[in-house]
Structure 1
Amino acid sequence: MPSPTRLVVLVSGSGTNLQALLDACADESYGAKVVAVGADREDIAGLTRAEAAGVPTFTAKVKDYTSREHWDRALADKVGAFEPDVVVLAGFMKLVGTTFLDAFGGRTVNTHPALSPSFPGMHGPREALEYGVKVTGATLFIVDAGVDTGAIVAQTAVPVDDDDTEATLHERIKVAERAMLVDAVGKMAREGFSVEGRRVRFGG
């Protein structure tokens, strides 16, 4: 059996997406293993979840470095120490920079609570409601230098109900997003993937 794909997961908060990945990785047939969890803050639930699962953790807080570039370099070094095959930004609320992308570009993924390229940025569910769309969802994409602009790995659709608020819609998107993330990362691990321009293809 081939060695599992090594995942480093970066978090900033409660770590529900991280937990979904940890649970999936408990099954050897999933094909991946979380080898480390990093955060940009201390004392968050995401780090506690990792520690409970026996996964090494690290933090890299922007304010501990003299510049954003130094932080980015330090983050890249800390992630690189665990030799990941894929880096998963799971609710990680910082934009990575050039040094990080030079090291892990093409194999770092992030989720966005909208169907890209619609509604990029911090308020996807709110903007979907304001626009009046009938269907929104979540996107898993390869991280690049833009904001939610990378090549799309997977998408999942979520209907917008007439009585939805931003909170109810976002909660349903998050449930769909977790399932999509686990499914797609497992597929990346088991089948391999390549990025050709804006197309992400599964398979060796």
Structure 2
Amino acid sequence: MNLVVLISGRGTNLEAIIRGINSKKIKGKISLVISNKKDAKGLKIAEKYGIKTEFIDPSLYKTREEYDLKLAERIKKENPDLVVLAGYMRILTDGFIDTFENRIINIHPSLIPAFQGLKAQKQALEFGAKFTGCTVHFVTKELDSGPIIVQAVVPVMPDDSEETLSERILHYEHRIYPQAIKWLSDGRVQVKNRHVIVKGAKYGGLPVNPELEDF
């Protein structure tokens, strides 16, 4: 499976995916990492592993549509099987999503459909939620609303800050994102309407998720 990864920041999920590839758990490669931020730390991580990187500057384009058209044209040159959003902090336009329909995945730091959009961890704290977590999902035109591949549940502690909760959620992001990509690279993921089934997986426990491997 050929991946193109889009980032905006520190690239910790990117590195977790790279480690999954390098350990041979994920059958694939990352052909390109693109950032909309010139100083994104994730670019340095990709370069450390010998992965091609590019910065595409949003300030050079008048509209989101123009930017995403350029982005899509660049990505198509890599002929990717999957476009992976790993901390990419721009909302994709409908045209971009149509170009890579059913081939874009994202990870969001909540149990969607709860706490969609920015600062999901802060939203959970302010709402008084007892549990939150993270979700890997297919990207659709509705923000943080696509079919769910896998989720991890994280309890909210009484003394949590936004920072401590975010770090605890991030630990599980680093497990479930490579896991979801492995299932996809193995051809085990089926989508029926909104329901995602992982072929051959054992389901059990609460929440009902396919069993995670050792990522």
Q: TM-score range by the shorter chain?
A: over 0.9
Q: Which amino acid aligns with 2:171?
A: V
Looking at structure 1, the residues matched to 44 and 120 of structure 2 have their Cα atoms a distance apart, in angstroms, of 28
What is the SS of the residue equivalent to 2:158?
A: coil
Distance in 1 (alpha carbons) for counterparts of 2:58 and 2:144: 21
Deviation digits for residues 169-202 of structure 1 (CA, Å, limit 9, x no counterpart)? 1110111111110111111111342332211233
Contact 1:106 1:195 in 2 (8 A): no
- Alpha-carbon distance in 1 for matches of 2:162, 2:79: 38
Contact 2:26-2:181 within 8 A present in 1 as well: no
Deviates more, 1:66-75 or 1:83-92: 66-75
8 A Cα contact 1:135 1:159, kept in partner: yes
Instruction: Give the SS at the match of 1:170.
Output: helix
**Superposition TM-score, scaled by structure 2 size:** 0.88
1:34 aligns with 2:27: no
More helix by share: 1
**Alpha-carbon RMSD:** 1.5
After TM superposition, give the deviation of residue 44 of structure 1 in Å: 1.8
1:202 aligns with 2:198: yes
Q: CA deviation at 1:67?
A: 1.9
Pick one of 70, 79, 83 that aligns with 1:83: 79
Alpha-carbon separation, structure 1, partners of 2:151 and 2:73:
31
The 5-angstrom pairing of residues 107-122 of structure 1 reads 107-122=103-118
Deviation (angstroms), 1:203? 4.1
- Structure 1: 4+ residue segments shifted above 4 A: none
1:125 aligned partner: 121
Q: Secondary structure at the match of 1:30?
A: coil
Aligned to 1:73: 69
> Quick one: distance in 2 between partners of 1:132 and 1:92?
27
Deviations 1:34-92 (A, max 9, x none): 11101112132111111111111122222111321111111111111111111110000
- Once residues 21 and 153 of structure 1 are traced to their aligned partners in structure 2, the CA distance between those partners, rounded to angstroms, is 16
- Give secondary structure in 1 for the equivalent of 2:186: helix
Matches within 5 A, 1:5-154: 5-154=1-150
CA distance in 2, matches of 1:200, 1:107: 14
Q: Secondary structure at the match of 1:51?
A: helix
Distance 1:65 1:44 in 2: 19
Cα distance in 1 for partners of 2:159, 2:64 equals 42
Identity %: 38
CA contact (8 A) 2:131 2:156 kept: yes
Structure 1 residue runs without a partner (length 5+):
none
Matched-pair contact (CA < 8 Å) for 1:141–1:154: yes
Q: Could you tell me whether the CA contact under 8 Å between 2:132 and 2:155 is conserved in 1?
A: yes
Structure 1 letter corresponding to 2:70:
A
TM-score, normalising length: structure 1 = 0.93
Q: How many equivalent pairs are there? A: 200
